[in-house]
Amino acid sequence: AKYFQQLKVFTGHLAKVNSVKFSPDNRSIVSCSEDATIRIWDVESGLELHNLNGFGWARGAQFSPNGCIIAAYCFDKVIRLWEVASRQVLQVLEGHSNEINEVQFSPDGNTIVSCSDDKTIRLWNVNTGKEILKLEGHSDWIKGVEFASDGLTIMSYSDDETIRIWCVESGKEIFNLRGHSGEIMEAKFSADSCMILSFCDDDIIQIWNAKTGQKIQTIQGTGCLTKVQFSPDGRTILSCSYKAMYIWDVTSGQQVQKFRGHSSRVKGAQFSNDGKTVMSFSESKYIRIWDVKSGKRTQKQFACGDKKFDNAKKKKKMLKILLNLILLINFRLTKKKKKNVMNIKIFFRFFLKIQNLSF
């Protein structure tokens, strides 16, 4: 690679990693995993600084704007605030009655917003841990929530096919944005929070005026949408569809650029800070860099992943398939002969052993 090389590999988690976030000063990383740990890493050395554990599978974690606190949420429906320096739990935020899907600090770091499958959005005081407001209105699971850049409003989106704008001070709903006819996969503010970009499983991209609630643009996707994003200046949007990425003009809704070259499904893409290049990654584990103006790939592709680890994953997958086949055969035989042909306890122990095999 001309400009990129792998700098560090952070090893330690024993199961799937669900979230990774930089600290505001870019000196630390917080990660959370299904191994029931939240870990803080030093970027320069690659060493693990802290291991916060004992609270079950961690779904997400992020630093406060000043980098002194970490907000983490697990499958136990609770948000915990950790002091980074002391590794102590400062506050435990309890109130949600179902799984929490997203947590975010306000721009000033004094408030936290959370959303849940219990169909509520909650605002919390970081210093006291007390619930400030409970926002209700969505009729289905709330998948995501985000503060506007000024911290005065909140945007949420739900499986009820609506996007809603809320007043932080009063908790009142300001706008209810309707237009999607299917499950909303994601909704995000533009950098200045003046627009909202959303896309749906019906392959429709919508652009909204966040100040008036009016729809600005509707764009028909090109199939199998996986991700959409505003450019830094908000004039264009980037969409990922199957093996290609597209850039669309916000004002006209017309396609202005297309990037092709991936041999498998594109999982995500990101504009550079200056908006001149795009980074994309696919299921084939390749990262590619593209020039926005020409639509051409500017550098060599970068392969990610560990071959030994990948082979281990393949072996485990094959073993799981074999176990499922054994279960199916056992079920058929049991149904015919009216008796067990495999001791369940032995099978369960064998299954657990397989799950933890290392190759």
Domain boundaries, the chain: 221-305, 310-355
Tell me what pLDDT residue 319 has.
Answer: 60
Q: Which CATH architecture does the domain made up of 221-305 adopt?
A: Beta Barrel (2.40)
pTM of the model: 0.77
Per-block mean pLDDT, blocks of 10 residues, the chain (359 long): 62 85 91 88 89 81 95 92 92 95 97 97 97 97 97 97 97 95 92 95 92 94 85 94 89 92 80 87 77 81 53 55 61 48 46 42
Q: Residues 298-356: pLDDT tens digits? A: 765 566 555 444 455 555 555 656 666 666 555 555 544 444 444 444 454 444 444 44
Tell me what pLDDT residue 309 has.
Answer: 44
Structure tokens at 291: 């020039």
Spatial contact of 168 and 153, defined as CB atoms under 8 Å apart: yes
DSSP SS3 for 262: coil
Tell me what pLDDT residue 4 has.
Answer: 54
Find, among 35, 30, 99, the residue nearest to 64 by Cα.
30
The C-alpha torsion from 7 through 12 and 17 to 20, rounded to 10°, is -50
Name the β-bridge partners of 20. 31
C-alpha 62/C-alpha 67 separation (Å) is: 9
Tell me what pLDDT residue 57 has.
Answer: 80
The C-alpha torsion from 110 through 113 and 114 to 115, rounded to 10°, is 170
Tell me what pLDDT residue 345 has.
Answer: 42
Q: Residues 189-230: pLDDT tens digits? A: 999 999 999 999 888 999 999 999 999 999 987 778 888 999
Tell me what pLDDT residue 318 has.
Answer: 59
Tell me what pLDDT residue 317 has.
Answer: 56
Spatial contact of 96 and 77, defined as CB atoms under 8 Å apart: yes
C-alpha 88/C-alpha 93 separation (Å) is: 15
